[in-house]
Amino acid sequence: MNEIVAIYSRLSEEDKDKLNEEDESRSIQNQKSLLISYATSHNWEIYQIYSDDDYKGSDRNRPAFNQLLKDAQNHKFNIVLCKSQSRFTRELELVEKIIHGDFAKWGIRFVGLADNADTANKGNKKSRQINGLVNEWYLEDLSDNIKTVLTDHRRKGLHIGAFALYGYLKDPNQKGHLIIDEEAAKIVKEVFELYAAGTGRTNIARILNARGIPNPTEYKRRQGLKYGGTGNKAHSSLWKYYAISSMLENEMYIGNMVQGKYENPTYKCRHSRPVPKEKWIRVEGTHDPIIDKELWERVQRRRLEKAKPMCTGELGIFAAKTKCMYCGYTLRSSTTRGLKYLKCPTKYVSKESCEGAFIAQRFLEQAVLTELNSIISSYFDEVSAEPKITAAKRRENEKRKLKQEMSLFYSKIEHLRKAIQSLYADKANGIISEAEYIEFKAAFTEQAEQLTRQCKEKQDILNQWESEERNIRSKEDILNKYRNIEKLDRNIVETLIDYIEIGRCQHKVHRNDLPPIIIHWRF
């Protein structure tokens, strides 16, 4: 069998020496050259070179890394070659899961040149695990050191964010210092003045949108910054209620540096969590204010007057679960005359926006219950039970047949392995010539490899069937648990529903007519 190799290279944090953003680092170039030379010297066929530039070894979202894993699972190659194990991953968990787990299952050999990592050599597994543990310690220490440095910078009033707050720019002449962006600052001042004069936050958003002023995220994108995702979302340039609200309470606009609002619990955790307000790091007078103290105080007084007391603090049944069918934004809840409604925020901040999803919550609850009970009833219908049983029996027969074929193939592979061993003895005893030995061995080896591939294909089919059966059992357990429910609650919605798309009634005839509803179930 030909050896087909996938080469993986990654830029380390300590050797970023690119001349500009478009260039690959010299480290990446050197890695590729070294690895190509090694593969060529071993007569390995190079399938593809995967390269991640400017990514940490602990980053699980590296695009080339994840593409390599996908191709590995599809058996596009049988060797992965890296400069070292740490270039592939610095996490011990991934060393065990991927290198010692998935790669072994998929029949893939991992080779690291610098640290002599080679899964074909069973003797160095312990050293690979030790290297993984050392890398784990390195990441933990590095994370702690970075946190210490960043906390120190925050306490000194230095700005450490990747992007400056809307209304400011990073000072090109002084690291960690902010200067006013005059164009955006005019909008910030206008927002504060409008609110202080009595204009509501939704109306302020509507005024800005009517004039075509991009929101902070879109403004930064237009400045050439890679900010806030891809920007492909419909109406992403529109101002919303929450953007105005966030601006009006941000002390950065009066010259105070406020940071440390979020934290990652550990270096492995990719999801930040909010930090209590009393633990934020606040340093006064670090940069020029956009808003003077008098205007700031007027705005804060009005915010307090407008603030509504919190109710129970509980999440609504459909909180963060409903989206506008037209623009994709999460629907906001409102209460009118004691009744709850869900509506698209986009419609209320721009005249030329989407059609605006709208539905009474009680109607949505009933629609969800009706569809859920219909799905459950249909699934457990006695009339449909017989075909399911028949299909299950047929699948069991197919599985039994596959296992019998695999058992026969494994027996043939063992027979071929013994035949190859006896060939060597025949050659040593002069029964066959060297040329005959090479010819017979190649033929037997090819047959064994073909049988091994067939076994692998059949095992993949079995694994897929078992996965499908687990999913079916899981679905049955979920549906059985919620049979004949009469009332929704937050837990049921969170468990069963991914999200719901809501539209708007175009020609409402009856009061209870429902808008278009598409429920994306989790099962």
pLDDT in tens, 56-95: 766 788 899 999 999 999 999 999 998 888 788 877 677 7
E strand spans, 260-405: 262-263, 273-274, 281-283, 322-324, 332-336, 339-343, 358-360
> Does residue 498 share a domain with residue 454?
no
Q: Is 495 within a domain?
A: yes
Residue 457 dihedral angles phi and psi, to the nearest 5°: -60, -40
Tell me which of 306, 333, 368 is where a domain ends: 306
Q: Is 317 within a domain?
A: no
Residue 352 has pLDDT above 80, yes or no: no
Q: Is 273 within a domain?
A: yes
Better-scored residue on pLDDT, 307 or 277? 277
Better-scored residue on pLDDT, 245 or 11? 245
Q: Is 347 within a domain?
A: yes
Better-scored residue on pLDDT, 459 or 271? 459
Domain that holds residue 12: 4-143
Tell me which of 251, 275, 306 is where a domain ends: 306
- For residue 406, give Cα distances in angstroms to 105, 252, 457: 17, 68, 10
> Does residue 177 share a domain with residue 121?
no
Q: Which of 262-266, 284-288, 336-340 has the highest mean pLDDT?
A: 284-288
> Does residue 329 share a domain with residue 299?
no
**Residue-level pLDDT at 27:** 60
Confirm if 365 and 523 have CB atoms less than 8 A apart.
no
What's the domain count of the chain? 4
> Does residue 329 share a domain with residue 220?
no
Tokens of 288: 């020029």
**Residue-level pLDDT at 122:** 67
Residue 389 has pLDDT above 80, yes or no: no
> Does residue 370 share a domain with residue 509?
yes
> Does residue 498 share a domain with residue 473?
no
In which residue are the tokens 């390995």 written? 44
**Residue-level pLDDT at 24:** 45
**What is the rounded average pLDDT of the residues 118-142?**
59
Report the Cα 342 to chain-centroid distance in Å: 28
In this structure, of 39-43, 229-233, 484-488, the range with the lowest mean pLDDT score is 229-233
pTM (whole model) above 0.75: no
* Predicted confidence band of residue 433 (pLDDT cuts 50, 70, 90): confident
> Does residue 223 share a domain with residue 95?
no
Which percentage of the chain shows pLDDT scores above 70?
82
> Does residue 122 share a domain with residue 35?
yes
> Does residue 494 share a domain with residue 476?
no
Nearest CA to 9 among 77, 76, 65, 63?
Answer: 65
Tokens of 515: 């808008």
SS3 state of residue 154: helix
Q: Is 311 within a domain?
A: no
Confirm if 299 and 192 have CB atoms less than 8 A apart.
yes
Q: Is 259 within a domain?
A: yes
**Residue-level pLDDT at 300:** 92
> Does residue 339 share a domain with residue 270?
no
Tell me which of 278, 306, 334 is where a domain ends: 306
> Does residue 137 share a domain with residue 245?
no
> Does residue 104 share a domain with residue 35?
yes
C-alpha–C-alpha distance, residues 454 and 433, integer Å: 32
Q: Is 313 within a domain?
A: no
The domain spanning residue 278 has which CATH number? Answer: 3.90.1750.20
The domain spanning residue 24 has which CATH number? Answer: 3.40.50.1390
- The helix (H) or strand (E) run that includes residue 257 is strand 257-259
Residue 14 has pLDDT above 50, yes or no: no
Q: Is 154 within a domain?
A: no
